[in-house]
Amino acid sequence: MAIDLTLKSVAVTNREASPSVHNNPGEGGSATKKWVKSHLASVTASLTTTSIIRMVEGPAHCHLTDLYLQSAAQTAGKFDIGAYRTNADGGAVVSAAFFASAVDCASAVVRTDVLNESTSYTIAKQAQPLWQALGMTEPAKGVMLDLALTVVTTDVTTGAGAISLEAGYVM
């Protein structure tokens, strides 16, 4: 006996509810994707474990869709990729390895999507605003977060190669 089963996503279930429920952008509703990208022309040699390289900022209320890392060979060095409060907002770590952990940049890294390399940013969390996925209490609208690289495991002993981070998000 065959089972005829139709499953519906949250967005479709909301659309077909009576009355219908509005889907927020990034949570089933349409949105315009925005990009932010920056680079560091040369990673400083002799960065020690826990050194932070703040790369780009993104709105705390966004939904990240992509996070690309690219690096020249740094000879030695591994990076966590996570989120920090901006320096204007105190600069505190929110989650240093939320997106990626111990990404090895000793050899060149081609443009790679590291959005969920650490498995912390699960499918369920990707359906939440970034602040909520990170476990923060809801900040005021307009609050920005720095997406940053933190040196872990291995110091960047010689460095001097370029590195970039590019984030795609919807609001």
For residue 108, give the 3-state DSSP assignment. coil
More confident residue, 16 or 114: 114
pLDDT at 93: 96
Question: For 44, left (φ over 0), alpha (ψ -120 to 50), or beta?
Answer: beta
pLDDT digits (tens, 9 = 90+) for 121-136: 998 999 899 999 999 9
Q: Predicted confidence band at 15 (pLDDT cuts at 50, 70, 90)? A: confident
Q: Predicted confidence band at 157 (pLDDT cuts at 50, 70, 90)? A: low
pLDDT at 4: 65
Q: Tokens 């050194």 sit at which residue?
A: 51
pLDDT at 158: 73
pLDDT digits (tens, 9 = 90+) for 48-104: 888 999 999 999 999 999 999 999 998 888 999 999 999 999 999 999 999 999 999
- Residue 26 CA, distance from chain mean position: 15
100 and 117 Cβ atoms separated by less than 8 Å:
yes
pLDDT at 1: 60
Rounded Cα distance between 140 and 143, Å, is 6
pLDDT at 20: 87
pLDDT beyond 90 at 164: yes
CB within 8 Å of 157: residues ≥ 6 apart: 45, 46, 75, 76, 77
SS3 content of the chain, % helix, strand, coil (to 5): 10, 40, 50
CB within 8 Å of 118: residues ≥ 6 apart: 80, 97, 98, 99, 100, 101
More confident residue, 142 or 43: 142
pLDDT digits (tens, 9 = 90+) for 18-40: 898 888 877 788 889 999 999 99
- What is the identity of the amino acid at 158? T
